[in-house]
Chains A and B, each alone.
Chain A
Amino acid sequence: MPYHTFKCSKCIPERTRHAVIKGHGEDITSCLPLGYLNTIPGSISERGCAFCGAKHVIGTPMKDVIHLCHGPVGCTYDTWQTKRYISDNDNFQFKYTFATDMKEKHIVFGSEKLLKESIIEAFKAFPEIKRMAIYQTCASALIGDDMDAVAQEVMNEMPDVDIFVCNSPGFAGPSQSGGHHKINIAWVNQKVGTVEPKITSDYVINYVGEYNIQGDQEVMADYFKRMGIQVLSTFTGNGSYDDLRSMHKADLNVLECARSAEYICNELRVRYGTPRMDIDGFGFKPLSESLLKVGLFFGLEDKAQKIIEEETARWKPELDWYARRLKGVKVCLWPGGSKLWHWANVIHEEMGVEVVSLYTKFGHQGDMEKGIARCGEGALAIDDPNELEGIEAMMELQPDVIFTGVRPGEVAKKLRVQYLNAHAYHNGPYKGYEGWVRFARDIYNAVYSPIHQLSGLDISKDEIDMNTGFVTKNIISDAKIDKEASITNNEREYTGKYDCVTHLRDKTY
């Protein structure tokens, strides 16, 4: 077995089967790391908790909802304003956060009264919002407050409001993934089937596992609408609470992030017979295939084809401009969940970068199967990496850029490795044809940053170049490419605007 042992982790034998190198001719039958096991205490893992997996990842992107945490204030504060899930209702869901602020007396005497008061106050403060999600935390779970009973009591007293209860305390599972599962199941159990929607098309989908990071959902919904499809609900980015209560009426569940939201698709298939179709909005080819697949399902392949042709003609020359300049760039693909496999192959195919490592902090073995199957030979795959392993991997692999979160990005910075935010994006959205070009543009900007070139110079020892003067990114990147071919091929740099999403909100179909 091609397990990789990190020097820094030799002393913790439990780690030996969590990293593999995909060797020549090997596939997932011979190299698959363990996954989704309990975290080793003190290892400085990057994992979060099941509360944040439920509330922060899946719950809060719902836009027309008061999100209230039942617990001490930290759970609320710490998960507030740390993501970029925007919405078309002026971002209510991340501007306002709500907590019961549980104190010692509540721990001792119970806090159901406090919860009820907080619910009523929140509705009073925002009379136009009639929907709420309440989230359990470690503290409220351990003292055993009956949150369902409190929610029901309020709903009985205030007939115009509706409350969703999510029981997913921080300790419920090895990572945030436990929370994804819990909130999926809670939603389908409590809410699906309680609203009958207005159906406006013969082709109706739920768009599932999509969180509208920097506008991803709005870009993708635009394609669906152009095909004449009604997006009944989105689970959950830019999604509306009542739309999500009517998920049972869709003809098809189109699933983007299978890591965080396949559970609800599977339940909807069992309970309502709605088929699940896994798609991928990242990359020209996967996206085109996805649109075609959805088109084929409804007999709308002509419309899908038209979009694919229009969008490809518009954006392909720009993708190619970057791809030519990104060829051979070494990348550590260290995102959270589904991007592991969504990006593993397509960034190589369409941008020419080499994935030298991939990791998942909360993924399961199934995610690694998909990721390793798609990545190239020699890639180092790590499950639940910890701080020292990440550093060791970067020192050994010397990547040009890593795709990861804000804090691990700071670790990379010190090692002189450029970082792109894989969770919240640098300048997204990254889904859609234009989005994919924006991603390529961001990688290009990181790799060829003139400041990055300067950061390796030791002025006390190295020769200081007094002749060259300033260099542009293009001078650096174009030194190694066939510039003529780029011009003949009509390749060009990105021509879109800083904000490529807001204009979609005024569009009529």
Chain B
Amino acid sequence: MRIEKKERSGIINPIFTCQPAGAQYVSIGVEDCIGIVHGGQGCVMFVRLLFAQHFKENFLLASSSLHEDTAVLGATHRIEEAVDVLLMRYPEVKVVPIISTCSTEIIGDDVEGVIRKLENGLLKEKYADREVHLISISTPSFKGSMVSGYDIAVRDFVREFATKKEPNEKINLITGWVNPGDVTALKHLLMEMNVDANVLFETESFDSPLMPKGDAVSYGGTTIKDLESTGDAIGTIVLNRYEGKLAADFLETEFEIPSIIGPTPIGIRNTDAFLNNLKKMTGKPIPEPLVRERGVAIDALTDLVHMFFADKKVAIFGNPDLVIGLAEFCIDLEMKPVLLLLGDDNVNYSKDPRIKEFEEKVEFEMEIIENADLWDLEERIKNGDVELDLIIGHSKGRFIAIDNDIPMLRVGFPVYDRAGYYRHPIVGYAGATWLADEMANVLFTDMEYKKNKEWILNVW
């Protein structure tokens, strides 16, 4: 196995967007919360569009609307105005994260200073009877990526609210950047295990209905109370190392709440480990219904693996925990994940124990590219450096699949060129089944389209 870095300085077709997008994703997961992105209007408008493309829903985020004068002279007064306008017009709003961007970090706006000023001034004078929390979230776009922005924002929300009151029996479950369907699957596992949890974040309600009265909206369901009680939990489980570990570390240091990092519960083995971690943390046994549920999944996988999946070469790109989790699952499915692309310059990826494990145990040619872009993938395909049977990744890579006639399963964020994927889980036993079914269906469609042994399905 080789670990490499992108050799070019610039990016051709990025895998990730920048930090503020990650913070915005966290912000929409919290009830009665509207984030203000402190920067140019595009930093919000396009991220909202990205969410709308992925979920086919609208989410609320505001901008401090940086214009030319403020970019030169400082823009902290724009935050003051934005907070006031937002609070006046959205009486239910209690939480307002102020999310910084590249421009406002470069001009050096003191967001924490403004928040103190607002807390001692505006909030006391005008909103004395109202619960309002302003949170400074520093996410300069020139550091990390949307992945680290997510990590930072989860920590900052937890840090703002977590308090130690009465110890409870709950655990904190930090899901990472997942879909509503994943949250449903995770909550199902928690329920079967009879474990009560603060789920960060409750995004099931993102998939909101169209109601007869026309009064539905999409919003996250994590409450201030949930966030507060993270300080009283018996432990924290972080499913995605790069999307929640900062918060777990904070809770461990501040409140001595033990944490377990990973694994991302993609596939049978990782779901087993997740349940075992729940058992370890709560002392509760894994119940019989989950044995059966696991059996249903294994039954489905057994139908597919040797006949269709064995030795298929796969490339995977996207958020690092997602890519690693999918690669591990692919190996269990007898496939060969030959190329993994991780799209930012986080230096910790190569020290990740899971990547070390690939290094030690994988016997086939496997290449991991850090700080990768999609050109790293496309160039290898075009030059014949890699032959692929399947690509797994998000919609921004769609033309690689289309132009090179390689079947592709859409997984991750954003997925806007397939219908309804956000409501399906990829985690847990249900997620394992769905992923395997979809991989198979994508391969089958490709066989038929190319007339490549399409007749094999006659007797399956």
Contacts and interface: CB of A to CB of B under 8 A. Distances in A.
Interface of A: 8-9, 11-12, 38-52, 68, 71-82, 95-104, 106-107, 114, 117-119, 121-122, 125, 137-139, 141-143, 169-175, 387-388, 405-408, 410-411, 413-417, 455-458, 462
A410 B46 contact: no
B9 interface: yes
A114 B9 contact: yes
A82 B62 CA distance: 20
A324 B107 CA distance: 58
A76 B102 CA distance: 14
A188 B318 CA distance: 40
Contacts of B379: 125
A49 B60 contact: no
Contacts of A458: 212-213
B49 A73 contact: no
Contacts of B86: 42, 44
25 contacts: A41-B62, A41-B63, A42-B81, A44-B34, A48-B46, A68-B10, A72-B18, A74-B43, A77-B16, A79-B42, A97-B14, A99-B10, A100-B10, A117-B10, A125-B12, A138-B39, A138-B101, A139-B106, A142-B103, A170-B43, A171-B66, A171-B71, A407-B49, A416-B212, A455-B210
Contacts of B82: 41-42
B445 interface: no
Given A142-B103, A407-B52, A104 B143 contact: yes
Given A45-B63, A45-B65, 14 more contacts: A38-B65, A52-B42, A73-B11, A73-B18, A74-B141, A74-B146, A79-B46, A103-B142, A137-B102, A170-B66, A414-B210, A414-B211, A414-B214, A414-B216
A8 B89 contact: yes
B398 to A, nearest CB: 8
B48 interface: yes
Interface of B: 8-14, 16-21, 34, 36, 39-43, 45-50, 52-53, 56-58, 60-68, 70-71, 78-79, 81-86, 88-89, 101-103, 106-107, 140-143, 145-146, 208, 210-218, 345, 375, 379, 395-396, 399, 403
B376 to A, nearest CB: 11
B99 to A, nearest CB: 12
B49 A82 contact: yes
B62 A75 contact: no
A98 B10 contact: yes
B10 A42 contact: no
A280 to B, nearest CB: 28
Contacts of A96: 12-13
A388 B88 CA distance: 12
Given A42-B81, A82-B46, A98-B10, A413 B210 contact: yes
Contacts of B61: 44
A76 B46 contact: no
Nearest to A139: B102
A11 B43 CA distance: 26
A410 B56 contact: yes
Contact of A388 (B17, B18, B84, B89): B89
A43 B85 contact: yes
A334 B357 CA distance: 55
Contacts of B52: 406-407, 410
A33 to B, nearest CB: 19
B45 A49 contact: yes
Given A414-B216, A416-B210, A73 B16 contact: yes
Which among A114, A410, A415, A455 has the greatest number of chain B C-beta atoms within 10 A? A410
Contacts of A104: 140, 142-143
Contacts of A106: 142
Contacts of B375: 125
A33 B210 CA distance: 34
Nearest to B38: A41
Given A48-B46, A73-B16, A104-B140, A455 B84 contact: no
A46 B65 CA distance: 11
Nearest to A170: B40
A328 to B, nearest CB: 21
B9 A97 contact: no
A140 to B, nearest CB: 9
B396 A80 contact: yes
Given A104-B140, A416-B210, A44 B62 contact: yes
A243 B158 CA distance: 56
Contact of B17 (A78, A114, A169, A417): A78
A41 B67 CA distance: 10
B40 A415 contact: no
A171 B13 CA distance: 24
B103 A42 contact: no
Nearest to A100: B10
Given A45-B63, A414-B210, A170 B11 contact: no
A101 B11 contact: yes
B47 A78 contact: yes
A107 B9 contact: no
B213 to A, nearest CB: 8
B79 to A, nearest CB: 7
B10 A11 contact: no
Given A81-B396, A121-B9, A143-B106, A41 B39 contact: no
A103 B345 contact: yes
A51 B102 CA distance: 14
A455 to B, nearest CB: 6
Contacts of A38: 65, 67
A77 B85 contact: no
B152 to A, nearest CB: 14
Contacts of B211: 414
A71 B11 CA distance: 11
A107 B143 CA distance: 10
A8 B91 CA distance: 11
- Ranked 6 nearest A-B pairs via Cβ: A118-B10, A74-B18, A170-B40, A42-B82, A49-B42, A78-B46
B130 to A, nearest CB: 14
Contacts of B78: 41
B84 A42 contact: yes
A80 B373 CA distance: 14
Contacts of B43: 49, 74, 170
A87 to B, nearest CB: 13
Given A41-B82, A99-B10, A125-B375, A11 B71 contact: no
A411 B217 CA distance: 8
B52 to A, nearest CB: 4
Contacts of A48: 41-42, 45-46
Contact of B42 (A51, A114, A417): A51
A169 B65 CA distance: 13
Contact of A175 (B11, B41, B102): B41
B53 A82 contact: yes
Contacts of B399: 95
Which among B11, B50, B83, B403 has the greatest number of chain A C-beta atoms within 10 A? B11
A329 to B, nearest CB: 18
A418 B149 CA distance: 35
A48 B41 CA distance: 5
A51 B83 CA distance: 25
A139 B103 contact: yes
Which among A74, A117, A405, A458 has the greatest number of chain B C-beta atoms within 10 A? A74
Given A73-B16, A77-B396, A101 B214 contact: no
Contact of B40 (A82, A100, A138, A414): A138
Contacts of A99: 10-11, 14
A185 to B, nearest CB: 16
Nearest to A74: B18
